A = this chain, B = another copy of it.
């Protein structure tokens, strides 16, 4: 078995768990290949009922020293940071001595956009001798593959909308925002910034309902892609069955995801939901430099 062979290579993987389903999907993928895991569950973000099924420790955001000490004691050399983490309020932070020593570096990271914050985490991990991996390196099955993924296929108009969306996201990524947009009938109708994909899709549904966006029938594509220069160990754009539900409620024709640049913790379920709702789901190649002009 490949699993047991891989198991001999290294100690358990330290999985720092934010919110959502991804931490457990990644943990299961690692375990299925015969390797151990230790979850470092972030209080207020990780789900206690899920966490309990794995070897774990609870941490507050900000307890760098606690993490380093426990992860070393568990024999972890590799770590992954997965799950959503809405920027914690100051009240949610707990600083230990190690963290306080790192504070200037952390504050510098906190001041920038998401990209800087997460890159800061990566540098801190390396400072303490851990190797920071991307979740998709440990659990390749969560990556969205290329091609038509369900029963339905994009039309020619949908393909044009997808091209336009990818080009827009490539340009916006330079501003450290925007892993998602909705393009409908050659028009960009919504751009995601701090609100997240589900709220952006709810907005499109509202605009259509209120007559501020006049589109007839199933039209428009949710396009998601990572930022062009993104550290892929963090924050790849993610989708799931809820994304399909929100896209269907917004009256879209389908969903286009950058192949190998977006993740799903429940891809088969998501594709089934899209098939049932009559939406296409496709994995598409990234925008090329040439297509970055509209």
Q: Determine whether the beta carbon of B188 is less than 8 Å from that of A195.
A: no
CA distance A171 to B292 in the complex (A): 11
Give the Cβ gap from A287 to chain B, nearest Cβ, in Å. 12
Residue of B172, B185, B188 touching A168 (CB-CB under 8 A): B172
Give the Cβ gap from A68 to chain B, nearest Cβ, in Å. 26
A249 at the interface (CB under 8 A from B): no
Q: How many copies does the complex hold?
A: 2
CA distance A269 to B199 in the complex (A): 33
Give chain B residues whose Cβ lies under 8 Å from the Cβ of A181.
193
Q: Determine whether the beta carbon of B186 is less than 8 Å from that of A175.
A: no
> Residues 260-294 of chain A: 1 if any B CB is under 8 Å from the residue's CB, otherwise 0?
00000000000000000000000000000000011
Q: Determine whether the beta carbon of B89 is less than 8 Å from that of A176.
A: no
Give the Cβ gap from A258 to chain B, nearest Cβ, in Å. 18
Within 8 A of B (CB), among A62-101: 86-89
Q: Determine whether the beta carbon of A176 is less than 8 Å from that of B171.
A: no
Give the Cβ gap from A134 to chain B, nearest Cβ, in Å. 23
A52 at the interface (CB under 8 A from B): no
Q: Determine whether the beta carbon of B195 is less than 8 Å from that of A178.
A: no
Q: Determine whether the beta carbon of A212 is less than 8 Å from that of B86.
A: yes
Give the Cβ gap from A42 to chain B, nearest Cβ, in Å. 16
Q: Determine whether the beta carbon of B188 is less than 8 Å from that of A175.
A: yes
CA distance A203 to B196 in the complex (A): 11
> Residues 179-195 of chain A: 1 if any B CB is under 8 Å from the residue's CB, otherwise 0?
00110011111111111
Give chain B residues whose Cβ lies under 8 Å from the Cβ of A185.
111
Q: Determine whether the beta carbon of A174 is less than 8 Å from that of B87.
A: no
CA distance A177 to B213 in the complex (A): 14
Given A168-B172, A194-B212, list of 9 further CB < 8 A pairs?
Answer: A86-B212, A88-B214, A112-B187, A176-B188, A178-B191, A190-B193, A191-B192, A194-B207, A203-B203
22 A-B pairs with C-beta separation under 8 A: A89-B214, A112-B187, A113-B188, A114-B187, A167-B175, A171-B172, A175-B188, A176-B294, A177-B188, A177-B191, A188-B193, A190-B193, A190-B194, A190-B195, A191-B193, A194-B204, A194-B207, A194-B212, A195-B203, A195-B207, A195-B212, A203-B203
